[in-house]
Structure 1
């Protein structure tokens, strides 16, 4: 029976495995000891800076003024930003952007409309007003007959609609079909 002897210059594969596993153990313990040098998780103190709350400058009065003057949200930003800097307010400390102005306007309009609807529903007696008008069409190319319909109760007026009418005839049937 021939037994092969391993040459002293080439170690066996089992000894190579042992050496590799010792190296990996050494690397694991070295990285673990380096990690513990920084302290435990309980000692970790992140440097979180507290942010100051931003100033909300978009009040209902300001939004109403912008709407009445027909100022777009982008133009409102160009107007409000220099005003804030001229009075000494840092723009970074405010909630000022095109989208913030647009969202605030939509929210304010929704609240205003809901309040008007709720106020108007509380009355028992109403008066309906209507009158035919010749107005420009939405496309602006020609004039059309329209029938504005107003509902009044205790000094509060509500425009219900301005429907188109069939042109030419002002009959009761034509008016009721425009209303309904």
Structure 2
């Protein structure tokens, strides 16, 4: 498994360990994706990752609020699937950017995650939060389909799973 420390910079890494770090006087946000137009093919997919506390954040993880993400632009899209989510995420899961900014146009989904903070029944009730996404729907966000990975990643001979990691 690759280790990817997210502390204010964005990167992509399959099967990453995502460490949530303590930030001065603010909430901790794991993702903040955005796109301006609904037709744009961009989005953020976390698949086979581990969302855990950084060592400095661990002692305050129940005092400081941590969230899976928030909509940065009009058509924010984030899918978290087959990922372990440790005990640091607030039950509501997602945080608004400002007021009700883009809560109806975002697309947030969780699928087959594990860990103490994966109960989606207590997630926010925004139109854009998909609490019952199906396997057929989530397959569209696997690397093989969403990033057309079967067409170019395999040619690079990089270890790669184009579909679901678990069956």
* TM-score where L is the length of structure 1: 0.22
| Bigger radius of gyration among the two | 1
More helix by share: 1
Higher relative contact order (CA 8 A, sep 6+): 2
Q: Which has the higher strand share?
A: 2
For normalisation by structure 2, the TM-score amounts to: 0.24
